[in-house]
Structure 1
Amino acid sequence: MAAIAQNSVVTITYNLSVTDDEQQKVLVETADAEAPMVFLFGHSGLPEEFEKQLDGKNPGDSFSFSLTPEQGYGDYDEQAVVQIPKDVFLVDGKLDDEMLQPGNYLPMADNEGHHMQAKVIEVGDEQVTMDFNHPLAGMVMHFDGQVADVRPATAEELAHGHVHGEGGHHH
């Protein structure tokens, strides 16, 4: 049985809670046995401290840890809330009103072609207010879960930088 280490394919189940303004834990995400989280350890893009907490664990091991904003997705940045001209969202000269609903996350790209997600905050007559902060920025995250499986990554997975097959990427 393999322990979690660099270049392992890791399958976990967990509950993710965040601390709200009243310092209460609020469940925001669950990865269960039907839809576990599967990732390539050391190449996941997940916070470094998240992976550090799982390093060396074996299938069947439980985990429970918290990450501060600094260990997770950083503090909430007011500068990441921006006004974008409404015409940027035109598709074939038309505005998709269903897409531009407050609360929706939209795929966006910056001038250099870097892809990111942004949340629609407000739709005005001329501008759309978008929030480019990570949804978990500024939050203390609490993870409680179990390691379901660990296996060595294939050469193809390592070359591509992501998991293939069950729970992973399909080409």
Structure 2
Amino acid sequence: MAITKNKMVSLTYDLRIEGANGEMIEQATAEKPLNFVYGAGLMMPKFEALLEGLEQGNDFNINLSCDEAYGQIDENAIVDLPKHLFLVEGKFDDEIIKVGNTVPMMSASGQRMNGLVLEITDDIVKMDFNHPLAGEDLFFKGKVLEVRDATDEEIAATVQGGCGCGSGGSCNDGGCGCEDESCATEGANAGGCGCGC
């Protein structure tokens, strides 16, 4: 059975940056594969397009430029926020708000996003809201473990959103669309689910 729309796909992959022999930053294993409904819009479009037609047992190598993946780094997504926004009961929360931490935030319109704390001064917290893999070319090497018809329930669940290649979701915010809610276990995106989201 080939990968086409509304098929449930299970696959493994090693995700690397800086070339096919570069640093591995995420991995889906046979024990914790990436499971998704093909064509539901949960994956990066180019990643999904290059999987179409593959069958169970097929190996794949997918190279995505940063423009085909998470885009270029957007300098406008690096912002200075007033430090008082991070007060909890009148006190600055320096356990969570510290340089190098990724902090869940909400925009004025209610959109959830993660910000990386870059700098803290007396008055501001500088945060980067770019995707962690913005500006990076991505290299996937993997194998298709299974392709089957998705159930009506699996298809309905994708309508509610979820996460995978390109969704920006995270298992930590309950947004994982993976069938078993498995998270990436290796590298910079541990705690995320599926292809660097």
Question: Aligning the two structures, in what range does the TM-score lie when normalised by the shorter sequence?
Answer: 0.7 to 0.9
Higher helix residue share:
2
CA 1:41–1:16 in 2, change beyond 3 Å: closer, same or farther?
Answer: same
* Alignment root-mean-square deviation, CA: 2.1
Letter matched to residue 156 of structure 1? E
State the distance in 1 between where 2:136 and 2:129 align: 15
State the distance in 1 between where 2:99 and 2:10 align: 33
Compute the TM-score of the two structures, normalised by the length of structure 2: 0.76
Compute the TM-score of the two structures, normalised by the length of structure 1: 0.86
The percentage of counterpart residues that share the same residue type is 40
State the distance in 2 between where 1:102 and 1:134 align: 17
Partner of 2:180: 166
Q: Relative to structure 2, which stretch is displaced further, 86-95 or 130-139?
A: 86-95
Partner of 2:3: 4
- 1:84 offset after TM fit, Å? 0.9
80, 84, 101: which one aligns with 1:83: 80
State the distance in 2 between where 1:164 and 1:65 align: 20
3-state SS, counterpart of residue 66 of structure 2 = coil
CA 1:89–1:41 in 2, change beyond 3 Å: closer, same or farther?
Answer: farther
3-state SS, counterpart of residue 136 of structure 1 = coil
Partner of 1:56: 53
Which has the greater radius of gyration?
1
- 1:128 offset after TM fit, Å? 0.8
- 1:167 offset after TM fit, Å? 4.5
CA contact (8 A) 1:37 1:167 kept: no
Which runs of 5 or more structure 1 residues have no equivalent in the other structure?
none
Higher strand residue share:
1
State the distance in 2 between where 1:28 and 1:124 align: 31
Cα deviations by residue, 1:56-99 (Å, 9 ceiling, x for unpaired): 11111100020001111111111110011122122333332121
CA 1:121–1:24 in 2, change beyond 3 Å: closer, same or farther?
Answer: farther
1:1-171 alignment, distance < 5 Å: 2-19=1-18, 25-161=22-158, 163=177, 165-167=179-181
- 1:165 offset after TM fit, Å? 4.7
- 1:117 offset after TM fit, Å? 1.5
State the distance in 1 between where 2:88 and 2:148 align: 44
State the distance in 2 between where 1:124 and 1:106 align: 17
State the distance in 2 between where 1:100 and 1:47 align: 30
